[in-house]
Amino acid sequence: MQEQETMVKNEARATLKYARISSRKVKIVADLIRGKNVDEALAIVKFTPKASSEIIEKLLKSAIANAENIHNMKHEDLYIAEIYANQGPTLKRIRPAAKGSAVRIRKRTSHITIVLRDDK
């Protein structure tokens, strides 16, 4: 039986839970920056006119700070290995509608995670 050697790459992550934005809206911007260098990704996020771009920019800066301070990784070598947005719990609200009925309003939340690795 052969033993598999797995190379463990140094990785840093940042997670935002219960963000008050739908995961569908976050995934649009996440797909733009997946696999990119962090400087390039910051530039893309800064000039993307989407609701989730502010949230992702702040989370990306947090992940970069985690990589530099906790894991002693260099800023120039970092790239976005993984970024994903999962659906969080939905807040259910009720809005009055015609003829005494009610309409349910679903306020969706999401959990966003960014994983950075260095390209050594």
Do residues 37 and 79 lie in contact, with contact meaning Cβ atoms separated by under 8 Å?
yes
Question: Is 83's pLDDT higher than 80?
Answer: yes
Q: What is the pLDDT of residue 4?
A: 47
Query: d(Cα 33, Cα 55) in Å, to the nearest integer?
Result: 14
Residue 110 CB partners (closer than 8 Å, separation 6+)? 19, 21, 22, 23, 26, 85, 86, 87, 88
pLDDT tens per residue, range 41-75: 999 999 999 999 999 999 999 999 999 999 999 98
Q: Cα torsion for 71, 79, 82, 32, to the nearest 10°?
A: 150
Query: d(Cα 41, Cα 106) in Å, to the nearest integer?
Result: 31
Average pLDDT over residues 109-118: 94
Query: d(Cα 78, Cα 36) in Å, to the nearest integer?
Result: 9
Average pLDDT over residues 25-42: 94
What is this structure's pTM? 0.86
User: What domains appear along the chain, each with residue ranges and CATH number?
Assistant: 12-118 (3.90.470.10)
Query: d(Cα 56, Cα 42) in Å, to the nearest integer?
Result: 9
